[in-house]
A and B are shown apart, each in its own frame.
Chain A
C-alpha cells in the first residue's frame, strides 16, 4: 500500500499539481500584481513597479 507512493506515476501526478500551482502564481505575479523589476534606459537604475 505504502509502496504506491514510491511509484513514478505518483511522482508525475505530484509534479503535475505543483506545475499548475507554479503556473498560477506566475500568472498572478505578472498579469495581476505586475510585480517585476525593470531596467530603465537613461537613468541606468532599477525601479520596482
Chain B
C-alpha cells in the first residue's frame, strides 16, 4: 500500500461522510454552515449587484473584488470543513492564505482611497503592492503549509512561518487604516464626507478585526484545542454583513462610491440571502417548506418594492432636473427682461428730444409764428402737432413702464387735497371734452378735508390718465368725477364714471395688465398703447393706493375708482 493509499484508508477509518453539494456534510455543525453560507451569499449577491451597475469607477471595482473574494473565502472555508481529501484540503487551505491578506489589502486600500479623496500617495501604493509579494513568492512553498496533520481525525494542516507574516501584515493594515482615517478626518472640513468616512472606517475595522481575530485564535490554539480552536473563528465571518451594512448605508445615505443603490434593493437581497441560507441548514422538512414559502414571498414582494421605489426615485430625479432647468431658464428670462427694459428706456429717451422739437415747431407753425399759413397748411400743422403730442405721451408711457420694471421710479411724498387736484384736472379737460360733445361733471363729498399723503405729480398723472381714458372711450354722454371719503374706513376715493363703450367681465380682470386693451376699444380709439392703466396701477400700488374697474358690460359705461389712505 502506498503512503497515499494508506492515508486515504486511514481517513476512511475516521468515519467521515463525504461532502454532498460541495459544502454539506452531516459532520459539519449547522451553525458553522450558517456562519459561512449567509455572509458568503450576501457578499456574492452584493458583488453581482455592483457588477451589473452601469457606472463603475475604481472604488466600485474594489468593492466588487472585495465582496467577491470574501464570498470565495467563506465558501472555500466551508468546503474545507466538509472535505476529507487531504490533497484538496492542502490546496484550498493554502489558497485561503492567499485570499485573506488580499481581502485586508483591498479593504484598507478602499478606506484610504475614500479618506484621501481619491489621491493616495504613490509610496503607499508601493507599500501595498510590495507587502503582498512575500505571499506570492512563498505561497506555494513549505513556508505556507508545512504538512497535513494526520495524527488525529481533525483533518488540519500545519501552518508555516508565512502565516506569522500574514497576521502581522493584517494587524499593520488595521492600524494603518485607523491612523490614516484619523489624520484625514482632522484635515477635512466637509462634515458629510467625514461622516461617510467614519462609517466606512468603523465598518471595515469591525470586519477586519472580526475576521483576523478568529483566524489568529485558530492558529494560536490549534495545538492545544485541535479542531475546536477553529470553531471559534467561524463567527468572525459575521463581520462581513456588518461591513456590507456600513457600505450600503454609506451608498444609500451619502451617494458614495459613485453608484446608485437603493436601500430597498439591499434590504430585499439581504433578506433573501438570510432566508435562503436558512433553507440550506434547515434540519426538518417542515422548516424547509416554511422557509421556502418565506423566501418566495420575500422575493416577490421585494421585486414589487424595488420597482415602486425605483419609480419614485426616477420621478424625484426628474423633478430635481426640472427644477435646475427652470432655475436657469428663469435667470435667463430675468436678464432678458432687464435688457429689454434698458433698451426701451434708452430708445424712449432718444425719441423724446426730437419729438419735443417737432411738437414745438409744429405748434409755432400752427400759431402763425412764422407767418400766416393757408387754411390747408394750418390744418396740416395742427395735425403734426397733435400726432407729435400723442407720440410724446406714448413715449412717456413706455419710459414709465421701463422705470417701474427696473425699479427706478422715484416718488416725492407730500400731504395734499386729492379733491383739489381732481377738480383742477376736470376743469383743465372740460374744454377738450366739450369739443367732443361730452359733459364733464365734478362733485365732492368730503367730511375730513380729502387730504392724502402721496406724490402729487404722479397722482395728478394717474387721475389725468384715467379721465383721459374715459374721454377716449366715450363717444358721447357724460363723464362724472366724484371725490368722496369714508372716515370710518379711513379711505379717500376718486370715482370716474362714464357712459362709454364699457367692457366685458373678462376684460375687467385684465385691463390693468401690460398691453391689454378692451376688445371693442379699436371701434372708438385706435391710438391706445395698452400701457396707461398698467402704469396707473403700478404707481398707485407703490403709493399704497388702489385702482379698480367696474362695468355692467359692453356698451353700459365704466367706472374707475382710485383709493388712497385718508389723512387725519
Contact = CB atoms under 8 A, between A and B. Distances in A.
Contacts of A36: 90, 145, 147-148
Contact of A30 (B94, B147, B150): B94
Contacts of A41: 10, 150-152
Interface in A15-38: 15, 18-19, 22-23, 25-27, 29-31, 34, 36-38
Nearest to A33: B87
A38 B147 contact: yes
A2 interface: no
B86 interface: yes
Interface stretch (B121-129, B169-177, B244-252, B317-325): B121-129
A46 B152 CA distance: 14
B136 interface: yes
Given A15-B132, A38-B3, A47-B3, 16 more contacts: A11-B129, A15-B136, A23-B95, A26-B94, A30-B88, A30-B94, A31-B87, A36-B147, A36-B148, A38-B148, A38-B149, A40-B151, A41-B150, A46-B147, A48-B3, A49-B4
Nearest to B88: A31
Residue with the highest number of chain B CB atoms closer than 10 Å, among A18, A29, A36, A48: A36
A18 B129 CA distance: 12
Nearest to B146: A37
B145 A22 contact: no
Contacts of B286: none
A25 B133 CA distance: 15
Contacts of B2: 49
B98 interface: yes
Q: Which 5 A-B pairs have the closest CB atoms?
A: A37-B147, A30-B91, A8-B125, A26-B140, A25-B140
A28 to B, nearest CB: 8
Contact of A19 (B86, B136, B151): B136
A36 B94 CA distance: 12
28 contacts: A8-B126, A11-B126, A11-B129, A11-B130, A12-B129, A15-B132, A15-B136, A22-B136, A22-B137, A26-B140, A30-B87, A30-B90, A31-B87, A31-B91, A36-B145, A36-B148, A37-B148, A38-B7, A38-B86, A38-B147, A38-B148, A39-B148, A39-B150, A39-B158, A41-B10, A41-B150, A41-B151, A41-B152
A26 B91 contact: yes
B227 to A, nearest CB: 15
Contact of B140 (A11, A29, A46, A49): A29
B125 A15 contact: no
A3 to B, nearest CB: 12
Contacts of A8: 122, 125-126, 129
A39 B526 CA distance: 115
A43 B82 CA distance: 27
A7 B315 CA distance: 44
Contacts of A37: 142, 146-148
Nearest to A18: B136
Residue with the highest number of chain B CB atoms closer than 10 Å, among A25, A30, A48: A30
Interface of A: 8, 11-12, 15, 18-19, 22-23, 25-27, 29-31, 34, 36-41, 44, 46-49
B553 interface: no
Interface string B180-195: 0000000000000000
Contacts of A11: 125-126, 129-130
A49 B7 contact: yes
B139 interface: yes
B151 A39 contact: yes
Given A8-B129, A15-B133, A34 B122 contact: no
Contacts of B147: 36-39, 46
A30 B145 CA distance: 11
B149 A39 contact: yes
Given A8-B125, A22-B140, A30-B87, A40 B150 contact: yes
A47 to B, nearest CB: 5
Contacts of B158: 39
A25 B136 CA distance: 11
A13 B122 CA distance: 15
A11 B147 CA distance: 32
A49 B91 CA distance: 15
Contacts of A46: 147
Contacts of A31: 87-88, 91
Contacts of B148: 36-39
Contact of A15 (B3, B4, B129, B139): B129
A15 to B, nearest CB: 6
B6 to A, nearest CB: 9
Interface string B148-167: 11111000001000000000
Nearest to A12: B129
Contacts of A25: 140
A41 B150 CA distance: 6
Interface string B56-97: 000000000000000000000000000000111011001100
Given A11-B129, A12-B129, A38 B150 contact: yes
Contact of B91 (A19, A27, A40): A27
A48 B4 CA distance: 9
A22 to B, nearest CB: 5
B4 A34 contact: yes
A32 to B, nearest CB: 9
A26 B139 contact: yes
A34 B87 CA distance: 6
Contacts of B150: 38-41
A19 B65 CA distance: 15
Interface in B1-55: 2-4, 7, 10
